[in-house]
Amino acid sequence: MLYTNLKHLETEQEVMEAVENNENVMICCGRMGPMCLPVYAIMEELEPIYPHITFYDQDFDIPAANFIKNLPGCASFMGLPFTVYFKNGKVVAATSSIQNKDQVTKILDMELGK
């Protein structure tokens, strides 16, 4: 389990429901490591600023993470975390490795709206 203040996705069913039941979703799939922690912190900071987006984390080392790992946009990723942005159930952006706040907000604004 990841120790963040974000909503956690622990099963593939929870991932599917999150993507299907929310118009705008950001999922950060990673570990409690130096490349992932800054992204979780950014998400926690941005969550109240973007109430129309649902923010989730997911442990990279659980079977349910295969959903994210096997997405076509993530197939070539080498670094953690895998961060995926969904709009109306479809992947609109995906990144890997550490991201800063400006990079994350640029994707949120461009793909999921302000």
CB 80 within 8 A of CB 32: no
For the chain, list residues with pLDDT below 50: none
Q: How far apart are CA 68 and CA 78, in angstroms?
A: 13
Given this model, what pLDDT does residue 1 score?
Answer: 79
Given this model, what pLDDT does residue 88 score?
Answer: 98
Given this model, what pLDDT does residue 114 score?
Answer: 81
Q: Is 65 exposed, middle or buried, given 0-12, 13-18 or 19+ CB atoms closer than 10 A?
A: buried
Given this model, what pLDDT does residue 32 score?
Answer: 97
Q: Indicate the pTM of the whole model.
A: 0.97
| Domains defined along the chain, listed by start | 7-112 (3.40.30.10)
